[in-house]
A and B are shown apart, each in its own frame.
Chain A
Amino acid sequence: MGTADFAVYLIDDDPGVLKALGRLLQTAGYKTKAFSSSEAFLDEHDPSVPGCAVLDLAMPGLDGLELQQTLAHQAADRPIIFLTAHGNVPKSVRAMRAGAVDFLLKPVKRDDLLQAVKRAANQDRLTRRAYAERKTIHALLEKLTPREREVLTHVIAGRLNKQIAADLGTVEKTIKVHRSRMMAKMGVRTVAELVRLTEKVSLQPRLPAADLA
Chain B
Amino acid sequence: MSWVDRSLPVARSIEDVQYFLQITLLTFFAYLISAELGFFVGTLSDKIFAPFWPPNIVLLSALLLVRPGQRWISILAAFSAHVIAETRIGMPVFQLIAAFATNFAVAALSAAAVQRQLRERPLFTTFHDTVNFIVIVGFVCPAVVALAGAFVPILGGSAPGDFWNFWTQWFASNALGNLTLGPLALVLITEGRHTFWSANSARQAEALVIGALLVVVCSIAFDRSAGQITHSFLPALLYLPVPFVLWSASRFGVKGASAAILVVGIVLIWRSLNGSSLFLTGTPEANVFALQAFLICLAIPALLLGSSLEEARQANQRLRQDEERMAFVAAAADIGLWQYNSRSGSCWATDHCRSMLGLQEDSPVTRDAILSVVHPDDRAFVHDAIVGIRDAEVPAEFRVVMPDGQMKWLLANRSINRDASGTVLNTSGVVTDITMCKKAEAEAEAQRQELAHLMRVSQVGALSGGLAHELTQPLTAILANAQAARAMLAGKPRDLKNLAEALDDIIAEDLRAGEIIQRLRTLLKNRKVEAEAINIHNLIDSTLHILNSELISRHVKTKVIVAGDVVAVEGDPVQLQQVLLNLVMNALEAMTKTDTRRRILTLTSQCINDQIEVSVIDQGAGIDANDEPRLFDAFFTTKERGLGLGLSICSTIIERHGGSLSLRNNADGGTIARFCLPARCAKGG
A residues with a Cβ closer than 8 A to B are 13-14, 16-17, 19-21, 23-24, 26-28, 58-60, 63, 83, 85-86, 106-110
Contacts and interface: CB of A to CB of B under 8 A. Distances in A.
5 contacts: A14-B476, A16-B505, A20-B484, A20-B505, A86-B469
Interface string B436-480: 000000000000000000000000000001001100111111111
B483 interface: yes
Most chain A CB atoms below 10 A, which of B465, B473, B480, B549: B480
Contacts of A26: 484
Given A16-B508, A24-B483, A60-B552, A85 B477 contact: no
Contact of B465 (A86, A107, A108): A86
B560 interface: no
Contacts of A27: 483-484, 487-488, 491
A91 B480 CA distance: 24
B469 A110 contact: no
B553 interface: yes
B interface, by DSSP: helix, strand, loop or mixed?
Answer: helix
A68 B480 CA distance: 24
Given A17-B480, A85-B469, A107-B476, A24 B487 contact: yes
B498 interface: yes
Contacts of B549: 58, 85
B184 to A, nearest CB: 111
Contacts of B106: none
Given A23-B498, A106-B473, A85 B468 contact: yes
Interface in B100-142: none
Contacts of A85: 468-469, 472-473, 476, 549
A106 B476 contact: yes
A interface, by DSSP: helix, strand, loop or mixed?
Answer: loop
B468 A86 contact: yes
A28 B509 contact: no
A58 B487 CA distance: 29
A110 B487 contact: yes
A54 B468 CA distance: 20
B557 interface: yes
A85 B484 CA distance: 20
A83 B488 CA distance: 23
Contacts of A63: 552, 555
B402 to A, nearest CB: 59
A16 B483 contact: no
Identify the 8 closest CB pairs spanning chains A and B, nearest first. A85-B469, A27-B487, A20-B480, A85-B472, A110-B483, A20-B477, A107-B479, A107-B476
B472 A106 contact: yes
Most chain B CB atoms below 10 A, which of A14, A58, A83, A108: A14
Most chain A CB atoms below 10 A, which of B475, B491, B553: B553
A108 B476 contact: yes
B65 to A, nearest CB: 111
Most chain A CB atoms below 10 A, which of B472, B476, B478, B487: B476
Interface string B657-676: 00000000000000000000
Contact of B475 (A19, A23, A106): A106
A60 B552 CA distance: 5
A24 B486 CA distance: 10
A6 B486 CA distance: 24
B509 A16 contact: yes
B474 A16 contact: yes
Contacts of A23: 480-481, 484, 498, 501-502, 505
Given A27-B487, A110-B484, 18 more contacts: A13-B552, A14-B473, A17-B476, A17-B477, A20-B478, A20-B484, A23-B481, A23-B498, A23-B501, A58-B549, A60-B557, A85-B469, A86-B468, A86-B472, A106-B472, A106-B476, A107-B478, A107-B479
A20 B469 CA distance: 17
Contacts of A20: 476-481, 484, 502, 505, 509
B553 A58 contact: yes
A59 B501 CA distance: 26
B621 to A, nearest CB: 24
Contact of A107 (B472, B487, B498, B553): B472
B512 interface: yes
A24 B557 contact: no
Given A16-B505, A60-B557, A107 B469 contact: no
A12 to B, nearest CB: 8
Nearest to B558: A60
